[in-house]
Structure 1
Amino acid sequence: MSTSSSECFYNIVKTRQSDRAYDTRPVEREKILRILEAARIAPSACNAQPWRFIVVDDPELKNRLADAAASKVLGINHFTKQAPVHIVIVMEAANFNSNFGSIVKGKTFPLIDIGIAAEHICLAAKAEGLGSCMLGWFDEPAVKKLLSIPKARRVPLIITIGYPATDEIREKKRKSFDEVVSFNKY
């Protein structure tokens, strides 16, 4: 019996997780290119596409980037050196319509758009048999300096990519369906 497209998709969604341990295998360039294509074609408000993706796979540079993501004080993100690839998402200027809509509606559409593209990256990585983890906590000035990102740009996320160290899928601890879903009213 063949698996339907919807079954494949929901399996990817259910088994995608934030992986914080990676094995030593390098990630094939073809897989990274397919993952980036999934991000590139993600939807965005007014088709602004307010992003740039910087792939860091040079081991020395990646380790320096990992140092900027780790916090000794908080004890977080020390796993990042294990990940062979880091994708740094830079928020680029949005087009006029997206910027105008952000002001009028009081929403930062470029950040919403980057969230969508980031999840495309994570789901595509899972589809490729890879693990991923989104990082929002890092030394942004150090990251920008390290990668020659203009001072006027922001770096909202870094995503680690690699082969997970284990095949274990952790149980998802989420609110119940009824706590987060309603129909026709709050």
Structure 2
Amino acid sequence: MNDFLKLVLARQSDRAFDKKRAIEPEKLEYILEAARLAPSACNAQPWKFVVVTDRELAVKVGKAAAGLGMNKFAKDAPVHILVVEDSANISSILGGKIKNKHFPLIDLGIVTAHIILAAESEGLGSCVLGWLDEEEVKSLTGIPASKRLLLDIVIGYPMKEKRKKIRKSIEKIISYNHY
């Protein structure tokens, strides 16, 4: 198995982080550089990241990501990378209208994959959270009300062992030349 597939196999959604262990600045810079280099439709780069590293603020943001019993672990993550949809360029917007696709959402999925794989490559755990109190997190971090906060990627040193991946068989998800 090559190194990339080993990385993909190792990456999991971690839900328990070492509260006492901060992420080294150089590791965080590496992750953010991987995000910066991610591809996007028409090179629009329709994203802005708010990186929460302040411990007190991280706890507040983590609490705003918890609700209905979900994501209680988020308050223990030392870093939150908030993924905000930013303006696409005119080519991406026009292409999306013609093709009836909102390319920024696709682009944000791609950049999120870059972030979580880069975190894994640095020995860090991550979990992508879509369930969060968007208005509360915006208020805590100064994200303008007009912007869409789509995801909170929590990152930290994982406290639990790797789990066996459960995925559909390749035959159930792949076909060649015809559906």
TM-score bracket for the superposition, by shorter chain length:
over 0.9
Distance 1:52 1:92 in 2: 6
1:170 to 152, 163, 175: 163
State the superposition RMSD in angstroms: 0.9
Per-residue deviation at 1:64?
Answer: 0.8
1:94 to 88, 91, 98: 88
Q: Which runs of 5+ in 1 are unaligned?
A: 1-5
| Matched residue, 2:22 | 26
| Matched residue, 2:32 | 36
- 2:59 paired with 1:63: yes
- 2:177 paired with 1:181: no
1:53 to 7, 28, 49: 49
Matches within 5 A, 1:67-86: 67-71=63-67, 74-86=68-80
Deviations 1:14-62 (A, max 9, x none): 1100000011211001100000000000000000000011110101111
1:14 to 9, 13, 19: 9
SS at match of 1:46: helix
**How many pairs were matched up?**
178
SS at match of 2:113: helix
Per-residue deviation at 1:69?
Answer: 0.3
SS at match of 1:81: helix
Distance 1:125 1:92 in 2: 23
Q: Which runs of 5+ in 2 are unaligned?
A: none
Per-residue deviation at 1:143?
Answer: 1.0
Q: Structure 2-normalised TM-score?
A: 0.97
Distance 1:102 1:52 in 2: 20
Q: Which amino acid aligns with 1:51?
A: W
| Matched residue, 1:116 | 110
Q: Which amino acid aligns with 2:113?
A: E
Q: Structure 1-normalised TM-score?
A: 0.93
Runs of 4+ in structure 1 off by over 6 angstroms are none
Per-residue deviation at 1:171?
Answer: 1.4
Per-residue deviation at 1:101?
Answer: 1.2
SS at match of 1:144: helix
Identity of aligned residues (%): 56
Distance 1:160 1:95 in 2: 28
